[in-house]
Amino acid sequence: MTNMAPGWYDDGHGALRWWDGARWTEHVAAPDPEPAAGSAPEPEGIDALPPELAYAEPATPLVPPYAASPGYPGNAAPSGMFTAATQPQKSKTWIWVVAGIALLGVVVAAAVLIPVLLLGAAVSGNSSSSAAPVAPTSADEDAAVATVELYDAAWQDVDCDAFFASTTENFRSPGWPDCATFEAEAEAFATSVQNYQVSVTGIESGEGAITVRTSEAFDSFVDEAGNPADPPVPFEEQLTYTLVPEGDGWAIDNVE
């Protein structure tokens, strides 16, 4: 079996696509414009995979893997954290615009705008989410939150035991049925991000399930165009984990 290292490769359809070491992903980068006749070939460092690994469009379209990635919710694999490292996010420029308007308002009419400034500070502290962190209100909710934290740690630490302990077989089977598959993708994720922070913004208990919503912020070494970033680019996304009873605790059955 051919074993190619993770990287950007020509997928044979006129685009550069990310190969994660085991399979093609949904991440595509537009190649440089076609060279003029007689000019140099495609950019140095871009290789084509062997014919047996040539990319073919899947029967079911790929969707972003983590919303944790590193899988594809709603497709052949569950959600996971790798997309957190590679998926483009909206610019946070608007936060600075709002802050600037608020500060100008203070100079013009401080007494009137004090409540607005306080609200603006709260929004800035939560980046793209204004929801404040929440705490569990029962033993089951506390166990569910601990499971989500274990899952996130599994991706960051490339810990297969933690990954299996925090997820159901139904969640793992489409994309990460064994440790070898999980560790290959987790390794790529762990080297793509830093300063990963998870904040629980909502918990809902239902019959036979608990939903945990999070705001997850991190610095990515891949920019919005899919290119290496130095310094790393800050990102934030909101995720929803669905947990079901398993054994003596709770396990993640879906992430979106």
Long-range contacts of 221-226 (CB under 8 A, 24+ apart): 221/85, 221/191, 221/192, 221/193, 221/194, 222/85, 222/86, 222/192, 224/88, 224/89, 225/29, 225/88, 226/8, 226/18, 226/27, 226/28, 226/29, 226/86, 226/88
Q: In terms of Cα–Cα distance, which of 193, 215, 172 is closest to 79?
A: 172
Cis status, amide bond into 65, omega within 30 of 0 = no
**pTM to 2 decimals?**
0.51
Question: In this structure, what token pair is assigned to residue 134?
Answer: 């929440």
pLDDT at 213: 96
Give the H or E element holding residue 162.
helix 160-166
Q: What's the gap between Cα 36 and its chain centre?
A: 38
Q: Strand ranges (DSSP E) for the chain?
A: 7-10, 16-19, 24-29, 47-48, 193-206, 209-222, 228-246, 249-255
pLDDT at 26: 82
Q: What is the pLDDT along the chain (256 residues), one digit of tens a residue?
A: 456 788 888 877 778 888 888 888 888 876 555 544 444 344 444 455 555 556 665 544 443 333 344 443 333 344 444 444 444 445 555 555 555 665 565 545 444 434 433 334 333 343 445 578 999 999 999 999 999 999 999 999 999 999 999 999 999 999 999 999 999 999 998 888 999 999 999 999 998 999 999 999 999 998 888 889 889 999 999 999 999 999 999 999 999 9
Name the 3-class secondary structure at 126: coil
Check if the beta carbon of residue 233 is closer than 8 Å to that of residue 220. Answer: yes
pLDDT at 209: 96
pLDDT at 153: 94
Check if the beta carbon of residue 78 is closer than 8 Å to that of residue 172. Answer: yes
pLDDT at 13: 79
